[in-house]
Each structure stands twice: as structure tokens, then as C-alpha cells.
Copies of this chain bind each other. A is one copy, B any other.
Amino acid sequence: MPSSSGIPIRSTCEFKRIEDIQRVLGATAKAPGVRLSIGDDAAAIAPSQGCLLLLTTDSLVENVHFSRSYMTFRQIGYKAMAVNVSDIAAMGGVPRYALIALSMKKKEPAGNISRLYQGLNRCAQASGVYIIGGNITASSPSHADEGGFSVCVMLVGETTPYQMVRRNGARVGDILYVTGTLGEAAAGLEILKRSGSPRFSKLINRHKVPTLRIREGRALSTIASAMTDISDGLLSDLTHLIQASGVGAQLVSDHIPISPTLKHYCRETGNDPLPYALNGGEDYELLFTVPEKKINKLEALIAGRVVAACPIGTITSKGLRVQGASGRTVSVTPKGYDHLK
């Protein structure tokens, strides 16, 4: 294929799209580290000396991850970038460069592509990321008038060998922390699917516009022994972390941070907020472990408002247990989101 990054220049028809996209993005070729941006067979970057490059990719697919009935194209673009930024933040890295692979029905209005790129670029700018290439292709022709849109982001981040935080570093006795509050994005999606009630816009926004935790990830990069982001749900992502580390964990249910808005919503609907926080996906908060000897450093970051985080449990030798309000502990299994089921 001709110019897969640079966004391909396959014809006059596509060429107009690329010009539209370049207008939205501005002059990324002059960005720090960028040697070659959109318009050639590949983009080129000059990595910072001694750095490691982090590579991640994640896609949003129409009617799987979003519906255009409740998300604007700007929001879809923003979120597609944000979920990738979350992966780099969870490694303690600095997000830097992105490629965008779009797939869409042939008659997708050009304005939707521009708006998608506006959203992608808004999140990119908020994250210090430059969009330097990509590709546009038709989606499978079985899609009729609606659907078939997907956006795949490949994000490159930088870190150093000493600051990269993996999932596998948790040790028995480490304290388990989480940033922000949990469960709101899942409640927001529930509201969108049921009625779209505008009363709980804060919950809806948590689903539509993931919080960026880049600063927190960087600050934690020399403190956390293990880290991941919460995308599938606390229990599910914690399971990945403890499996990678070969340890177990015990959560204290009373310590799991639940926002007043989610509590309010649950009072109205007669639901328990805890399952939202334990199993609801797409919080994009950071879940991390801290060794006893570094707790003071973390507490200083929390006191200095660099990181908003709270302890929710401890790392044990095996199993995954939750201590309830009664003091009784129970074994649990994750019920996180699996889009292939």
C-alpha cells in the first residue's frame, strides 16, 4: 500500500481527505523528535538518547465500543487516543507519537472524518502527542447505511529502563492503590444504554471522556513496584497484575473509592455501588502497588496533590479476596468486560 504512514495518497478523492486531515493537525513535521510526518511511505522519528520506546495499540469499533447515536465523532476521536494514552501512562511513560488507522464505509461524510481528527488531536495535544501518520481504508462492504466505522491508534511513548513500570513487580506486603474513583464509567454507559438521562452527566462523561493520568503515571514511575490501568474493571485488571507478579491480593471493600455521584445514582436505582467499582470497566484509573519503604514518598505526592490515590488493599501470597464491611473476607473472581463473549 502506498503511503500507509503518511496517510495514504491513493487518489484525488483520498487526497482531499488527507489535506483535510493535515489542516486539522497543523504542522506536525516540526514537532520535537519528528523527522518526517504525514505524506511519505513511513513517518520517521529520532528517539531521545538512552530511552526505551513503548508501543501500544487499541481500537474503538462502532457498535462494539461506541454508538454514533450517543457519541459525537469528536468524542470518539478523543476517547480512541485517550485509551492508548492510558496504556503508556500505566507503564510510567511519556506519550509522544501516534499513527491512526481508520476504516469506514465508502460514503462516510468527510465532515465526520474531520471531527474525528479534531477529537484525536485534542486529546493528543492534551497529552503531548503528535499524530504523524496513518491510513484510511474502506470497511467491509456488508455494512449498509450505518456502522462499519473503526479507529485504531498506535501510540509510541518514551521512558527509561529505570522508570518503566511493569505489571510483574508486585511483592507480598506491598500496598495496593488506585487513583481517582471507580465505577462511574460503567454507570454512565448503563445510563446511555437505558435512557440517556441528562441528570447524571458526570457519570456519562466518565464513560465518554476518560481522564488522562499521564502526570500520575510519571510521578509513580520511580515509586510503584507494579502498575496497570483499569479498563476491564478493578477485579479483572488486578487479576492480570497479580498473575503477572505471581502473588495474590486482598481488597478492603470499604476503602474502594466511590464518588458521591455514583452513590447518589445507586440510591435512586436501588443498586449497590460496589459491583460497579469492582467489575465496571473503562475507568482508566491507575492501579498500582507500592513497597512499604516507599509509602512515605507516595504519601508526599498525595499530600502535594500530584497524585490523587488511596490504598485499597494489600498484596498477599495467593488468591484474590475482598474483605467486606462485616470484616469477613470472601474469595472473588473477576467479571470484567469481555467484548468477544
- Are the CB atoms of B40 and A135 closer together than 8 Å? no
- Are the CB atoms of A42 and B87 closer together than 8 Å? yes
Measured between beta carbons, the chain B residues less than 8 angstroms from A336 are 10-11
Q: How far is the CA of A244 from the CA of B340 in the complex (A)?
A: 43
- Are the CB atoms of A136 and B340 closer together than 8 Å? yes
- Are the CB atoms of B88 and A42 closer together than 8 Å? yes
For A2-31 the 0/1 string (1 means CB < 8 A from B) is: 111100011101100100000000000000
Please report which residues of chain A, range 143-182, place their CB below 8 angstroms from some CB of chain B when the two chains form the complex.
143-144, 147-150, 152, 154, 156-157, 159, 161, 164, 166-168
Please report which residues of chain A, range 296-341, place their CB below 8 angstroms from some CB of chain B when the two chains form the complex.
334, 336-341
Which of B36, B133, B337 meets A164, CB within 8 Å?
A: B36
Work out how many copies of this chain go into the complex: 2
Of all chain B residues, the one with the shortest Cβ separation from A93 is B42
Measured between beta carbons, the chain B residues less than 8 angstroms from A17 are 340
Which of B2, B4, B63, B152 meets A142, CB within 8 Å?
A: B63
Is A138 part of the binding interface, using a Cβ–Cβ cutoff of 8 Å?
yes
Is A49 part of the binding interface, using a Cβ–Cβ cutoff of 8 Å?
yes
For A246-278 the 0/1 string (1 means CB < 8 A from B) is: 000000000000000000000000000000000
